[in-house]
Structure 1
Amino acid sequence: MNDVLATDEDGLIRLQKLLAQSGVASRRKCEELMLAGEVEVDGEVVTRLGTKVDPRVAVIRVSGQRLPPISDHVYLVLNKPRGVVSTMSDPEGRRTLTDVLQEVRPSADSSERLFHVGRLDTDTSGLLLLTNDGDFAHKMAHPSYEVDKTYVAEVDGEVTKHTSETLLGGVELDDGPVAVTRVRIIAATRQKSIVELVIHEGRNRIVRRLLAQVGHPVRKLTRTELGPVDLGQLKSGQLRDLTLDELGALLDSVRM
């Protein structure tokens, strides 16, 4: 978050003021939440009004929900259009994420130096995070944190219950086994099917290779969710900020 807060000379701010300025509730309501034991700082319940915290590093929860620290970092959700390469520049002159950003944020500060969190294939559309927070991007992309990724795929042929069970049980690929954590058949005919898959793997073209391996080459692929973040009504090429709840949940998922 990039809000500017009035802190004291030690960089501290009263907790109820921080909560109010972060959009949790009015100052009075935030005080009521503190008195009711609904606010934690670094794992400890804080009920004393006037308690000061460092908004840059304090881990704050309100009714169990993480409140992200105040920083100059930017966290964005992009619905990447199909045909856009997941890079900020391209020597071959293909349409890049920078091109999309310039279309939707023409007046943005060029010094932000945004970069993508992970990547999507050029011919895959959907949810992609953009940020200038290097630590966050690195942890989100690290396989040890296993953040769930949800895809909707249109494939050749009829996906059956047996195929779903195979996907859940695990499939051997050239670079090792892979299994989905959830699969849902949205529609199925002899000619084509639409399926939703949840997977935490991040290997190159993993969903396409997985579905091809079980006999259903992908016609069209969209990532619809990443952990607690979903596309919702965000149209292709559109951009929005992560909400406080989304960012807080993602920070928790990568233990930041």
Structure 2
Amino acid sequence: MKGKVVLITGGSSGIGRAIGVFLKSKEFTVYGTTRNLKNHKNFNEFELLQLNVSNTESIQSAVNHIIEKEGRIDILINNAGVGITGAVEETPHEEILKVFDTNFHGPLHMIKAVLPHMRSQKEGLVINITSIAGYMGLPFRGFYSATKGALGLITEALRMETKDFGIKITNLAPGDFATNIAAGRYHVPLLDDSPYRENYGTTLSTMNEHVDNGSDPIDVAKEVYKIIGTTKPKVHYKVGEFMQKFSIVLKMVLPDKVYEKLLLNHYKL
């Protein structure tokens, strides 16, 4: 596996950075991306490229740079993403479009840019970093759940469409990890006159606490490394605390209203 060329979106911090550092320690050739290279002048863990997943020109420029330099892209890890919180009714539609642009359309743009190269290589691997939140509609986090759920479903379709080209595509859904996503996500303001004020405020505190007490992102990096070494990757992988992963099992086996009650109790609603 050593020497394989890896492209990681959102590689300057959090889960993306952890994946890049770990894979470089295993002698992969690692390229990460960031929306603003000027903010990371002292970054030296691996090569960072300027790329905005919402801008197809910047995507093509970065992909061309790697192809010109390395001659190939073996692994794409779609990690770049943003968070969003708020009641469905109160979330400005422009913010809904933005989060879909980054979390769903962005990975699609990346995949479309690398697939021709992987097809010509007759091999390649795409790992889409989704989320355990993408398996369920979470209160006041519904749009984040929707973006990650949509990415998970499109991955299932892509696997079947690309199976004859030697290209492997899979999902990796993390639970809560200690990253800066809470600081960078869009929050619908907690307004005094909002009918959702009390419940939204309670849920927001719970979500922030989960991220603050989240696991080390190195666990995600190690799972990525295992997937890379797998001959026939599964459709879905999960990484996180036991109960976070078990929540997906519960959703599959419990009646909908019983599962809904569990979520309401979890978020103290």
Q: TM-score, normalised by structure 1?
A: 0.28
Task: State the structure with more CA Rg.
Answer: 1
Considering fraction of residues, name the structure with more helix. Answer: 2
Considering fraction of residues, name the structure with more strand. Answer: 1
